[in-house]
Structure 1
Amino acid sequence: MLTPATTALLVVDAQQGFTDLCPAELPVPGGSAIVPHVNALLALPFARVDATQDWHPPDHRSFLGQADNIYPPHCVMNTPGAEFLPGLHADRFSAIWRKGYDRDFEAYAVTAQHPGLGAFLSASGIKVVVVCGIATNICCFFAARDLRRAGFDVWLVEDASAGIDVPAAGLFQSKAKEEGLALGIRYCTVADVTSAMSGN
């Protein structure tokens, strides 16, 4: 059972640059398809709804040709790739936490660039954080991991998320889930959250 007054939703990087809407960036299979599932979560009575937004400078260290040389340029600030997905009910967002805006700092987890997020949520009376978005095993996972380590009950909604293996960075979906389960992260569906929120 989830108590709305103590449960928050965190929508991670639901942006065009991670979908086939921007094929030259970093499209994640199924990225565009999560919108109706995320919107189903956004319709639930969470105490607050936070979103993260990759907001990179054009020469971010993770980009090809830069220091880490891993990813194609993606979600560059003030470009279409950085915008939220069409049809996403972004009006429900209580706050938008931008990350990756420092050229020399890799910020998979919002908590890496905003270390006070956990304390902020705790001060708001939040005990449970439901996480969804892109990518399941990267930015979603690292945010979920850090929030779990901070003492929150964390639910990661798999059908409202999309993942991708990135061998060059050692990021694999199976490995992330295995680690997440060991930490006590609950992997679930939109239906699970809906049912728990309604007390059924």
Structure 2
Amino acid sequence: MKVHQAGESDNLTAYPLRLVHIILLSSVALFMSAASIKVNAKPVEQTYLSHFSVGSADTDTLQKVGQAEMSLMWFDIYSAQLFSRNGEYQDEQLPVILHIEYHREIDAQDIVEATVEQWLHLGLNEQFINQYQHHLTQAWPDIYQGDTLTFNVDANGHGQFFYNGALYYQVSDMQFSQTFLDIWLSENTSRPKLRQSLIGLVSHDY
């Protein structure tokens, strides 16, 4: 599969929150208030950790910090897992990996629009969003049930997007990498319970 570099013009995209509009024709706000988040205790395969090692020159594997599932009423949306070098979370620490497995089909354009909405929720100005939106429109394809999307940020802040385990898009802008992770990891995220599970503060079901 071709690896997309930052700046290419393919009409691809990023990550889903507007799924609620597809499922129940509701709003993202309703999605976040109605969603239930639960911890999944299923162990992570060591082969996965080895595949996403910390940069090409570093063979150390990352350890799982936490994981959670996003669901809307009786709909399972996705499972998310967070990895760091020592299995602990510290604000803006690198390297880090966010791995998501989707349980529903999601249109690429809905993913981009939902990501922009979350950036607005975090207080990013429109000038910044316009500057980085071209990354979103290239980073992900349409999502199908069972697909995995992985964002691997190395110690220098360079981001690598993996689609079903294959390198798909790269970006060398540390600010973009951190801002993308902030959707899940910022203290101001619209999904605080999911954040608590991902960073290992909660270890029980909601």
- TM-score over 0.5 for the alignment? no
